[in-house]
Amino acid sequence: MRKFILLLFIALQFGKTDAQQIKTPDQLYGQLFTDVQLQNTLKDGKTFVDCIPKRNPKLILADYLRLKRSGKAFNLKNFVSANFIYPDTVNTTVIHKDKPVVTHINELWTALRRNPSAPVANSSLLRLPYAYIVPGGRFREVYYWDSYFTMLGLKVSGQNTTIENIIRNFAYLIDQYGHIPNGNRNYYLSRSQPPFFSLMIDLLAEIKGKQAYTEYLPDLEKEYAYWMDRSAPTKHVVQMPDGSLLNRYYDQLNIPRQESYKEDVLITKEKGENNPELYRDVRSAAESGWDFSSRWLSDGIQLKTMQTTKIVPVDLNCLMYHLEITLAKCYGLKHDRTKEALYKTLAQKRAISIQKYFWSPQQAWYTDYNSKTKQQSPMISLAGMYPLFFRLANQEQAKLAEATLLHKFLKPGGLTTTLENTHQQWDAPNGWAPLQWISISGLENYGEHQEARDIATRWVTLNTRVYHNTGKLMEKYNVVDLQLKAGGGEYASQDGFGWTNGVLLDLITKYKLTE
């Protein structure tokens, strides 16, 4: 209650905040921001950018600069604590590990739910009009592609209103900013995430009928315009050697990420040059959701060799294919045969390009394409299962990909993300819920029911074993050594966890698995 009153006081003190206010923490706090982040004052760089100032940021910065110029010793963390409200990461419900995992997940929806709140001056949080589900831990806001997999579990739980509220929030973000940002923070506005919005509409249509397609058609069109550079030159489009158009990830900024400022600065220092385009490549990897992975590294190992904007990703282009066929479906329902035919043609052209540029007979796998070298990437990953998920592979390709999947990726706890152990979190030995679900569904599409069930069983068994040992469901898991925790990345493994909960609940229900 005291915290609510304090937040209300701040809101009243500084006046009404415009929902489109985009002044990011680095712009608000200048040298204070830089010092806090580079000195690792709050341990996790995301903490400071999620803080709320207790008074006018200009006055806070002026006081800080005056203290710094005075030459007197002072404690930077104490200064931050005196002038900012730290973000709340405490769950609002108590969860016990002795409960069945399904009960645990259903209780977690309450803990991870965030209700709309009044705008607070100079907060990085972008206001949303409807309730939503956050992943958990340091991830205190809604995330774009996470939400689709979270929705799978919400559907099993019968929380259909929450599903549509999340979609309404994303439609609101599209209307306000022209795209769905990485998350509802102003420092995420320069990028999006894998475009799962059209799949969310599919899910909603299963609940409320085909009218979902026509209701959200304007937002689907805007989503497509963003990714295809129609609404603005976002540079997400790549012209391939044969003249066809495919997509890549491309953040609009070439500065260090505000939430990972120190980490990004260290990457450029390691390279020995201040190259702004390296910052863009790092940010673009964050847009992919795979931050970070050997997929984006020219040497497959070092972050300083990041080349994300040179990679044409197979998974992104499969998602764009789905967006095109969804738009064709929408216009078909509206009896607009001209636009229906247009989007069908665009989808067919993309399907041809996906086969041409991503299928590797040598690797018996779908891989990424490097626009700089004009060759397929030597790195293979579970992104190669997206064409099976969207039924783009022929029967022979699907059979070959299945053999590769079972021979190279299948481990005791499920599927490993890549074959490389780089100590990055989107590499071996880690497994992630969304990629398990995409791969399992892809196998099901081609009649490989037993193999799909086996992978689902391994994953569910690992998730529930960790839960009963720790009381937690994690962001990611070590699928190779079941006695070790998942690792790698810029931050400690988080618990909560939105998409793990959603996929786990869906798989338990689909395959009738018990603990």
DSSP 184-233: SBGGGTT---S--HHHHHHHHHHHH-THHHHHTHHHHHHHHHHHTTSSS-
Amino acid letter, 147: S
Set 146, 221, 291, 368: catalytic member: 291
- Give the 3-state secondary structure of residue 297: strand
Distance, in Å, from the CA atom of 133 to the CA atom of 148, rounded to the nearest integer, reads 11
Q: Catalytic: 291?
A: yes
Answer for the pair 182, 143: CB distance below 8 angstroms, yes or no.
yes
Vertex 436: Cα angle to 431 and 437 (nearest 5): 150
Amino acid letter, 468: H
Would you state the structure tokens that stand for residue 16, as one six-digit string? Answer: 């009404």
Which residue, 205, 184, 202, 201, is CA-closest to 193? Answer: 184
Burial of 55 (0-12, 13-18, 19+ CB in 10 A): middle
Would you state the structure tokens that stand for residue 192, as one six-digit string? Answer: 């999006």
Both ends of the chain: CA-CA distance in Å?
39
- Radius of gyration of the chain, Cα coordinates, nearest whole angstrom: 23
- Give the 3-state secondary structure of residue 395: helix
Residue 369 backbone phi and psi in degrees, to 5: -125, 135
CB neighbourhood size of 240 (10 A): 15
Helices vs. strands in the chain: H and E counts, helices first: 20, 15
Sign of the alpha-carbon torsion through 343, 345, 349, 351: positive
Set 26, 146, 223, 475: catalytic member: 475
- List the catalytic residues: 291, 475
